[in-house]
Chain A
Amino acid sequence: AQSVTQPDIHITVSEGASLELRCNYSYGATPYLFWYVQSPGQGLQLLLKYFSGDTLFQGIKGFEAEFKRSQSSFNLRKPSVHWSDAAEYFCAVVFFSGGYNKLIFGAGTRLAVHP
C-alpha cells in the first residue's frame, strides 16, 4: 500500500543555515510526489511536485527537492533558511485506484527557525 514517512517531527535551524527535510515513500510504480507547506492558521500551499524526468526539482520560495528512486526518498532542501520559512511541511504521494487518484500525506515536519 502507498504510504509516506516523514521521520523528523520537529526540526530547528538557525536563520541562514541550510535545511533538509526527509521524506520516504512506499509505492510500487513511479510515484507522483508533492511537498506542501502550511503556516499556522493557513491552508496548504504547494511548494513543488515530481511527476517524472529529472531528479532535482526547483519549487517556489527557493526550495528544491531531490528524487532518489533507489532510496525511495524525496527530500526537501533549501540552501539558506529565512525566518518566514517557519511552518509545517508535508510530503504527499498520489495513490491511484479504479481510474481516480488521491493524495496520501505524511505526518509532517514542524520547522522552527532561530534568529
Chain B
Amino acid sequence: GAGVSQTPSNKVTEKGKYVELRCDPISGHTALYWYRQSLGQGPEFLIYFQGTGAADDSGLPNDRFFAVRPEGSVSTLKIQRTERGDSAVYLCASSPQGVDGYTFGSGTRLTVV
C-alpha cells in the first residue's frame, strides 16, 4: 500500500490477557519503529528494526513487551499479561535508509480494562 498500515485500529482487552498489534510498513522501507503514545504525551520510542533484526530495543518497558519482524517487512508487537498502564496508542513508523522519510501509521489504540 501507499502508507504504513496498522491493525487493529482499536483493541480493548482485559487485564492479564495477551495482545498482538500488527504493522505493515511501506514496501521497501528497511527501517521500522514502534512508539507508544500515552494520553497527553509525545510518542515514546520502544524498538527499532533494521531488516529482520531488532537493532535497538532499549525503549521496551519490561519483558512483557516483545516485537518481531521475521521477514523484514510486517512487524508484530506482542504484549503479555497486559496491565491497565499499557493503555495507549501504539504507533508504527517506517523509513528507507537515512534520516529522511519517516512515515507513521494511524496507530492502534489499546485499552486494557
Chain A interface residues (CB < 8 Å from chain B): 4, 6, 32, 34, 36, 42-44, 46, 49, 51, 90, 92, 94, 97-98, 100-108
Q: Which A residues are in CB contact (< 8 Å) with B55?
A: 98, 100
Complex-state Cα separation, A106 to B40, whole angstroms:
11
Complex-state Cα separation, A30 to B25, whole angstroms:
29
Top 7 A-B pairs, shortest CB-CB distance: A105-B42, A43-B106, A44-B104, A107-B42, A105-B43, A108-B42, A43-B104
Q: Which B residues are in CB contact (< 8 Å) with A100?
A: 31, 48, 50, 55-56
B interface residue count range (under 10 / 10 to 19 / 20 to 34 / 35 or more)? 20 to 34
A94 near B99: Cβ-Cβ < 8 Å? yes
* Known contacts A43-B105, A97-B56; A107 and B41 CB within 8 A of each other: yes
Pairs A–B under 8 Å by Cβ, sample size 29: A32-B99, A36-B104, A42-B106, A43-B105, A43-B107, A44-B43, A44-B91, A90-B42, A92-B42, A94-B99, A98-B55, A98-B56, A100-B55, A100-B56, A101-B99, A102-B56, A103-B33, A103-B43, A103-B45, A103-B93, A104-B45, A105-B35, A105-B44, A106-B42, A107-B40, A107-B41, A107-B42, A108-B40, A108-B42
Q: Which B residues are in CB contact (< 8 Å) with A32?
A: 99
Complex-state Cα separation, A103 to B101, whole angstroms:
12
Chain B interface residues (CB < 8 Å from chain A): 31, 33, 35, 40-45, 48, 50, 55-56, 91, 93, 98-100, 102, 104-107
Complex-state Cα separation, A98 to B50, whole angstroms:
12
Task: Tell me, rounded to whole Å, the shortest Cβ–Cβ distance linking B69 to chain A.
Answer: 14
Q: Which B residues are in CB contact (< 8 Å) with A90?
A: 42-43
